[in-house]
Amino acid sequence: MRFIVCENYDELSQKAAEFVSAQIILKPDCNLGLATGSTPIGMYQKLVDMNIDFSNVTTFNLDEYYPIARSNNQSYHYFMTEHLYSKVNLKPENIFIPNGETDTPTEECKQYEKSIAEHGGLDLQVLGIGQNGHIGFNEPSEALNSFTHITQLTQNTIEANSRFFKNIDEVPTQALTMGIATIMRAKRILLLASGKEKARVVHALQGNMIDPEIPATILAAHNDVTVIADKAALDT
């Protein structure tokens, strides 16, 4: 695991955008796994400003709340449209995100996993990290060999994510998420961590020991992981 230390959030966003753009330059028809949350917002903004050509890129998002309407301004579909889809030349048919409106979540997850495989797998997966070490919505103690599935959010995640909702009761309690095995199959992984709330779990990543209570630590078993973190996230 390589660590790139940045002075602040702006530098982290710039480095992350350069990393993603390098992937697109190397392979213009790459499959990118994308993340939501507040951390990658700066990276998306920089990618838009860099005027990167997304015309041959395919994107697969990590996760989506369940159930949630696409039009809900807290859905990850809405988030991605606002920060990336509507601002770059991605083709609509090349955009994949789990459908939070489905009546058949298990089938949706199976189909999602199949689409990733049919496209030849993910070239680069971008990840944020939850305060409890979750990646996507793979919560502590979940199976480490899971593919895309429906999951129950922990109280910690509901509380952490409630800051975006009017009140905590509006936070969906379930989500559809790529599994740890889906993420681990990506050829290359980029994890972004910003702020002191992440220091505990980033410290665990640096320890290079797998702990099922901190799901991101499984990345120690992947051979191409880069962590871009700001100083606050590294300050333990």
Contact 1, 227 (CB under 8 A): yes
Q: How far is residue 73's CA from residue 18's CA, in Å, rounded to a whole number? A: 28
Contacts (Cβ under 8 Å, ≥6 apart) of 62? 33, 34, 35, 36, 125, 127, 135, 136, 137, 177, 178, 183
**Catalytic entry in 64, 108, 113, 139:** 139
Cis peptide before 67 (omega within 30 of 0): yes
State which of positions 158-177 bind ligand GLP (CB under 6 A): 161
Q: Examine residue 148 and tell whether it contacts ligand GLP (CB under 6 A).
A: no
Q: Examine residue 42 and tell whether it contacts ligand GLP (CB under 6 A).
A: no
Q: Which 3 state secondary structure label does DSSP give 2?
A: strand
Q: Examine residue 66 and tell whether it contacts ligand GLP (CB under 6 A).
A: no
Q: Examine residue 130 and tell whether it contacts ligand GLP (CB under 6 A).
A: yes
Residue 6 burial (CB count, 10 A): 21
**Catalytic entry in 63, 64, 108, 142:** 63
**Sheet with 174-177, edge to edge strand ranges:** 63-66, 174-177, 149-152
Q: Examine residue 183 and tell whether it contacts ligand GLP (CB under 6 A).
A: no
Q: Examine residue 65 and tell whether it contacts ligand GLP (CB under 6 A).
A: no
Least distance in Å: CB of 55 to ligand GLP?
Answer: 26
Is 132 labeled as catalytic in the residue annotation?
A: yes
Q: Examine residue 215 and tell whether it contacts ligand GLP (CB under 6 A).
A: no
**Residues annotated catalytic, as ranges:** 63, 132, 134, 139
Q: Please report, as ranges, the residues that interact with ligand GLP according to CB under 6 A.
A: 35-39, 62-63, 128-130, 136-137, 157, 161
